[in-house]
Amino acid sequence: MKKHIFSKLLCIGCFSICILTINISHAQDEPAKRPDRPVRSMFESNWLMDHQTVIVPFEGTFEMDIAHRFGTWNNGYDDFWGVYAPSNIRLGFTKVIRPKLQIGLGLTKNKNLWDFNLKYGIMEQTRSGRIPISITYFGNMAIDTRDGDNFQAGTDRYSYFHQIMIARKFSDKLSMQVSGNFSHFNAVTAFLNDNNESEGRMNNDHLSSTIAFRYKLTDITSFIGAYDIHITDHPLDNPNANLSLGFEFVTSSHAFQLFVGNYTGIIPQYNNFFNENSFSDNQIAIGFNITRLWN
């Protein structure tokens, strides 16, 4: 039986190699054609509110990001709809060191988080439609740099995030993106019974998915939105889904996004893992992003 299966696999492998050889030979016989270039401006920035996009700028591009999230507005006028409530801020810097390869770092106010990230463009949608989608990988490592009394071990400070993004520009106005997200924390929250004994913990790993879009209203203004769906069920403190809506304003070297949503963590694994805000309970925050490019 094993030999029979092996023979089938061998035949399939040989057939695949033959087909590949025929295709290569055919391509070599064809006259040289003009390179099939990627579509223009699928998105205008590395960021779409709280999410990365498939965009990797040109090689040599240096970018500075400022991300700000006010407090939630459910207290109304008492803290002026969150403007005077405790806020979260991230300063980030990225550099495209090779074609399609970007590295970066950032510092976030809450938990004094340092994050180091990498982004790689695997595939780009082409203008001819020969390649119908763009695919990009994004990953980071975040370090909680607060005082050591907050941790039992040094490795408890570390968390990680991995994401595969798939996007398509459907027209000059509409671009959409979906992603699969994986978050990991070395240390997670335990919950205790009445005798102060541990009965369980959150999972160390968390899966989620995101859908996002941009719809251009004018050459410089777009309507943007995103929705995050959490897949993993934890024994304790399942996070709430996120809905974000806003507007984007762009120039050749700047992007400014103003939006509302119920994420306030900025770092993706913290948003996906620990979001307690609920859109339905009016726990909504105003946020904005500013990006500046030099290339």
Tens of pLDDT, residue by residue over 203-261, are 889 999 999 999 999 999 999 999 999 999 888 778 999 999 999 999 888 899 999 99
Ranges 134-138, 152-156, 252-256: which has the least confidence: 152-156
Task: Report the residue count for the chain.
Answer: 295
Closest among 209, 237, 213 to 49, alpha carbons compared: 213
CB atoms under 10 Å from CB of 285, counted, come to: 24
The average confidence (pLDDT) of the chain is 86
Q: Are strands 51-52 and 62-72 parallel, antiparallel or unpaired?
A: unpaired
Q: What is the dihedral of CA 291, 85, 81, 277, to 10 degrees?
A: 80
Q: What is the tens place of the pLDDT at every residue in 104-129?
A: 999 999 999 999 999 999 999 999 98
Would you say 284 and 260 are in contact if contact means Cβ atoms under 8 Å apart? yes
State phi, psi for 46 to the nearest 5 degrees.
-60, -30
Q: What percent of the chain has pLDDT over 90?
A: 67
Question: Count of CB atoms within 10 A of residue 284's CB?
Answer: 24
Q: What does the alpha-carbon distance between residue 88 and residue 85 come to, in Å, rounded to a whole number? A: 10
Report the DSSP pairing between strands 190-192 and 134-144. Answer: unpaired
Among candidate residues 286, 202, 216, the one with its CA nearest the CA of residue 255: 216
Quick one: pLDDT band at residue 155, thresholds 50, 70, 90? confident
d(CA 255, CA 289): 8
